[in-house]
Structure 1
Amino acid sequence: MTSRTLALPGLNGNGKLAAQLRRSGHWLLNHALPPLLTLVVLVGFWELLCSRPGVSLPAPSQVVADTWELIIEPFYDNGGNDKGMGWQILASLERVAYGYALAVIAGIGLGVLVGSSEWAMRGLDPIFQVLRTVPPLAWLPISLAAFQASAPSAIFVIFITAIWPIIINTSVGIRNIPQDYRNVAQVLRLNPLEFFVRITLPAAAPYIFSGLRIGVGLSWLAIVAAEMLIGGVGIGFFIWDAWNASRLSDIVLALVIVGLVGFALDRMVGAIGNLITRGTSA
């Protein structure tokens, strides 16, 4: 009896380990393997097409060879704009952080106002619908004239680009709060602040985070485009400078990094949304 009892914990531990290994293998097979195989096929096809004589675009092997120093030394600093890819990305992310944070604060506030008030929706919604169709870079000359500096101009472009999906999704979420929730709030005699904190925000959170995910993606798109025009340190200007110097491999590497950072930003906002909304956000 004693030997069997002593053996059970080990057996249970082995069983848990085996179950964890099965779950890990199942996740790898269903989630990691398909994109990995797709990536291998695409890179192989790219290598095959661009390795032929006379092709102007670099093959993946040539990109890695040409940009190896940029890859292994992302944080070198030779002064001025001659900085590694790590510093370029961090400079762009800093601008995105400022502009996106402002868009989140203003967008959620205006979205709550438009969603809660019929008069606000009638007065502001047509204006929002017109302004949101203006291309992001069309705002850059206006912001440069207003701020007389490149950094705040880029932040404004990010702000004005990201705010519209946040406003729209937040207002839709507010308007779609079930009437039962409002009835419960009346029964509990919640004041406006309690209703906003305990009913409005939790009910509209999935819509809000859907807007936040769209907004962060648009922010990253806007900053890359804006930096091509305003110059300075940043991944957008790095791409434009590489084009002027005919460094196509540097451009390809920058595009890959831009895509990976944009993917990471989207997943980060999505993970926060799933955590707060308990998996109900998009």
Structure 2
Amino acid sequence: MVSAVFHSPLEMTAATTAAAPVVAHKPSAPRTAVAAAPARKPVDLHRFWMRVLPPLAGFGVLVLIWELVALRSTNGFPSPLETWKQALDVFSDPFYSKGPNDQGVGWNVLSSLKRVALGFGLAAAVGIPAGFAIGRFEFLSRMFNPLISLLRPVSPLAWLPIGLLVFKGANPAAIWTIFICSIWPMIINTAVGVQRVPSDYMNVARVLDLSEWKIVTRILFPAVLPYMLTGVRLAVGTAWLVIVAAEMLTGGVGIGFWVWDEWNNLNVKNIIIAIFVIGMVGLVLEFALIKIATAFTFEEVKS
């Protein structure tokens, strides 16, 4: 029989104190917790300069060529410095309004963007569903492919007189021109994306007896989205190119009309400023759509 002997905590403490030798310690300063500083990641200067220097060098070459052309010009072609001073004056009040034909560059850009948004929106509303239908059904593909191949290469300005004749107005005619020229990239890219969907997906849809609506929303749309966004990006670039040419002919408020009006006034500085404004707006639209396309694209498509 095993007996258990229990000792009180006080007895154990006293015994331990008696057994342990007494060692005198000097009072020490309180310890302070020293946080280890995180290691700084070294700056990759080579990568930074490779991103910064090439664009700066490109702009430098452009300005140099521009300056040489201005120096050798005999008809008063403006230099970069003169154009810069004029740009400061133009953008000091970009939203002034002194009548229907004398408005700031800000109002002209907004008017052009409004026309582009209307024409492009109508083209997307028609072109994307048409692309799905043409890519989905072989009969429609064989029916419309010759028409698309015939009409797509037509110059944008060739459609403008048709719009003026039908709509009896400059603004609807410009929107019509944007619509008819922006619709082709969206139809073609969407149809190609539908036709490239793996056949296994469609076989699974037949086995599950999915409806046409579920096939489009659950199978086709996620697979076709990268192609569709590429068509949208190309269409926006086309629309922004077309509106400048259309507004030169139709008149009214718009960046294209502003360029033509400044040419009539022989103000070459403002024409050069308008060229840079058109380029910057197009660059912003392109960059925004690339970001949207990247956000909605699968990783394997991105690579």
| TM-score by shorter chain over 0.5 | yes
Question: Aligned ranges for residues 185-264 of structure 1 at < 5 Å?
Answer: 185-264=205-284
1:276 counterpart residue number = 296
8 Å CA contact retained: 1:202, 1:277: no
Q: Structure 1 pair 129/189, CA: closer, same or farther in 2 (3 Å)? A: same
Worse overlay, 106-115 or 36-45: 36-45
Distance 1:157 1:207, change over 3 A: same
How far is the alpha carbon of 1:79 from its aligned partner?
2.2
Alpha-carbon shift at residue 217 of structure 1 (Å): 0.5
**Whole-angstrom distance in 1 between the partners of 2:211 and 2:46:** 49
2:8 matched residue in structure 1:
none
Describe the superposition over 1:86-136 as per-residue Cα deviations: whole angstroms up to 9, x where unpaired.
Answer: 111000000000000111111111111110011001111111111112111
Cα deviation digits, residues 188-240 of structure 1 (max 9, x gap): 44322122112101111111111111110000010000000110000000000
Label 1:267 to 1:131 Cα distance change in 2 as closer, same or farther (>3 A). same
Where do 5+ consecutive residues of structure 1 fail to align?
Answer: none
- Specify which of 142, 158, 172 is matched with residue 122 of structure 1: 142
Task: List gaps (5 residues or longer) in structure 2.
Answer: 1-30
- TM-score, normalising length from structure 1? 0.89
For 2:302 and 2:135, locate their aligned partners in 1 and report how far apart those are by CA, in whole Å: 19
**Identity among equivalent pairs (%):** 42
Contact 1:92 1:235 in 2 (8 A): yes
1:29 paired with 2:57, answer no
2:109 equivalent in structure 1? 89
Q: What residue in structure 1 maps to residue 63 of structure 2? A: 43
Alpha-carbon distance between aligned partners in 1 of 2:65 and 2:154, rounded to the nearest angstrom? 38
Contact 1:96–1:223 (8 Å) recurs in 2: yes
TM-score (norm 2): 0.84
| Range with bigger deviation, 47-56 or 173-182 | 47-56
Q: Secondary structure at the match of 1:51?
A: helix
Assess if the C-alpha contact under 8 Å between 1:207 and 1:281 holds in 2: no
Structural RMSD (CA): 2.2
1:51-89 superposed Cα distances (whole Å, 9 cap, x missing partner): 246254211112122343112221122222211111110
Which amino acid in the other structure matches residue 7 of structure 1? A
The code of the aligned residue for 1:168 comes to: I
Q: Which has the larger radius of gyration?
A: 2
Are the counterparts in 2 of residues 63 and 252 from structure 1 also a CA contact under 8 Å?
yes
1:7 counterpart SS class: coil
Following superposition, which runs of at least 4 residues in structure 1 exceed 6 angstroms of deviation?
A: none
Of 15, 19, 35, which aligns to 1:7? 35
Q: Relative to total residues, which structure has the larger helix share, 1 or 2?
A: 1
SS in structure 1 at match of 2:43: helix
Cα distance in 1 between the residues matched to 2:282 and 2:184:
19
Candidates 273, 287, 290, aligned match of 1:267? 287
- What SS does the aligned partner of 2:35 have? helix
Opposite residue 231 of structure 1, the aligned amino acid is G
1:176 equivalent to 2:204? Answer no
